[in-house]
Amino acid sequence: MEVAKAAGYQLPATAGDLNKVNNLDYPVLGIFGTGNLPVQWDKVPAAVPNGGKLPPTVCRQNPDLPGDQPQLSAMTTKAIDLLVNSKKGKDKGFFLQVESASIDKQDHAANICGQIGETIALDEAVAAAVDFARQDRNTLVIVTSDHGHSSLIVPDDFNSPTTLSVAVKTADGATMRIMYPTAPEGESQTHTGTQVRIAAYGPGAANVSGLTDQTDNFNTIVGALLGPKSPDAASGPSWWAAGGIAVVAAALGAAAAFFLGKRQT
């Protein structure tokens, strides 16, 4: 923090501070907590062995969520606004990453309410990016995940003396049971190698439909940033119609991240 301050960085620490940042004349470094930020939804007891004997819980807004902590969607909107309106952003384009890592952290902790709440935060941030893409008309939005995770939806009557599970009430009043089979109680659940979802919106979106290698996302983003004349783009698939801004979000059971890039016009 002191090094950044000495270097002239703008250092917003609250949502109010972030709202006041209106230019990139100096770099911006927002530090909104001393560690992992509090989750959006209230943390319920983690899944337990023989969890089928416990009644379903209701996920709620985290009462300890600081009122001055900016939402991920607000951070995303602010970052886009600053970059779009900066001189370099206007002249040469930009590349931006936004991450919501606590989806993954809450899955490791077998905390279903934490997972759902952080995924909703991601969804709101994706909506902010797509809103921008609709207005800009030259923006590619990609949503995917860097890996799978351990939480599985299982039948409500699932009952095991050794495997962790927990039940929650859904918005429509149904019961949803989640199983965490990769680690015993009190230990960290693990990543999995399952195929993960990928979706896209905007120019070039057809190039990420269905199945794709994650490494191909690199070429897709380079093409959106630099166009088909780039050496890296030349080795990729034929998506030359891709627009000037690439947005990637890693989500689901893993960390969430956006990557925005606008090529020079």
Sequence ranges of the binding site for Mg(2+)? 99
224 within 8 A of 244, measured Cβ to Cβ: yes
**From CA 209, how far away is CA 26, in angstroms rounded?**
39
Q: Please say whether the beta carbons of 8 and 27 come within 8 A.
A: yes
Encode 220-232: b = buried (16+ Cβ within 10 Å), e = exposed. bbbbbbbeeeeee
Which position has the token pair 């009644």?
55
| Contact between 224 and 96 (Cβ < 8 Å) | no
Binding residues, by number, are 99, 104, 108, 146-147, 191
Residue 70 corresponds to which amino acid? P
Spatial separation of the C-alpha atoms in residues 117 and 130, rounded to whole Å: 20
Sequence ranges of the binding site for Zn(2+): 104, 108, 146-147, 191
Q: In 93-203, where does DSSP find H-type helix?
A: 102-108, 112-136
Residue pair 200/209 in contact by the 8 Å Cβ criterion: yes
Distances (CA, A) of 205 to 194, 209, 232, 239: 23, 7, 19, 9
The Cα–Cα gap between 198 and 123 comes to 14
And the tokens for 59? 């996920």
